[in-house]
Each structure stands twice: as structure tokens, then as C-alpha cells.
Amino acid sequence: MSSYKKGKPEVKWYVVTHLPKGAECLDVGACDGEYADLLGEYLTMDAVEVWMPNVIQYDLKHKYRMVIPKDIREVTYLHYDLVIFGDIIEHMSIEDAQKVIGYAKEHADMIIVAVPYKFKQGALYGNPYEEHIQDDLTEDIFLERYKGFTLQIPYENYGYYVWHKE
């Protein structure tokens, strides 16, 4: 399932005003390549996508420079200017999400996390990775669990959070 459409123009504006053209980006949980469609002409983009049917159905290998067909919990990387977790961390336990966010903080200059609030969801389309494990997220709970982020683009049931390396 692709991420929410709300806020995408604001995300694009934020990225182009904070990163140079050609900056390297890792899109975690690419799904249908929505962030590549949004930012691919501006950024050099790689993707991680755990569900191989998405890689094939959405032809992700033509949208990204490189597609890593693995679970982000099993992926290592050296450095990206930006890592995007668009509708991803709610699919992991708090501990796993904190680990992948912590790893990104050590290997990226900027992180954008987008999450739905209080949204229960089971597996969809035969994809067990679609289940929401953290279905209790709110603005306050997100900021408590994931230190150092600021809410950049707020909505009633959804938020975009940003972290910058100091």
C-alpha cells in the first residue's frame, strides 16, 4: 500500500530547500515508488523494498538507481544525505524501529519519517509486512519514542517528522 498523498508537495519543498540537487537518498519501503516519482528528478535515489511483488509490479528497478530487496532491519549502508521512512516504522516493533532509526542517524544527514496516527491494519494483499505493529502512534508518542525529531508537516491523523545531523 502506498503512503498518504497528503503533504507530498510540502515534503518536496522541504527536501529541495534543504538538500542540493543530486543528493543521495534511501527510500525505505518504496512500495510503488511514490517518493521516486516525487523526488527522483531532484535526488539520486536508492530503495529498500522487502516485498518482492512490489519491486516487480511497480517496476522499481527503473525508478531507482538501486533496489535492495530486503527487510531494512537486515540492511547496512555507508551514508546517505537523506533517508526516508515513509509509512514504515509503524510496521515494526518499537525496539526494531528505534534500531533502524538509530542506524540511520549514524549514516545520514537528514531523516524524514511519515506515520499515520492510531491506525490499526492487518496484512494486505497477501503481504504480511503491511500489518501495523505500532498502531498507537500519536504526535506525543512518536516524539517520546523517537528522540531528536521535530514535527514538520502536521495533520490530524498523520505526521511528517524530520531529524537533521547536528
pLDDT at residue 32 is higher than 50: yes
Q: What is the DSSP letter of 122?
A: -
Between 3 and 125, the higher pLDDT residue: 125
The rounded distance, in Å, linking the Cα atoms of 17 and 21 is: 10
- Could you state, in order of their start, the residue ranges of all structural domains in the chain? 8-164
- Looking at the chain, the whole-number percentage of residues with pLDDT higher than 90 is 69
What stretches of the chain show up as alpha helix (H) in DSSP?
8-18, 34-39, 52-57, 94-107, 139-145
The CATH number of 8-164 is 3.40.50.150
- pLDDT per residue as tens digits for the range 56-107: 998 999 999 999 999 999 999 999 999 999 988 988 999 999 999 999 999 9
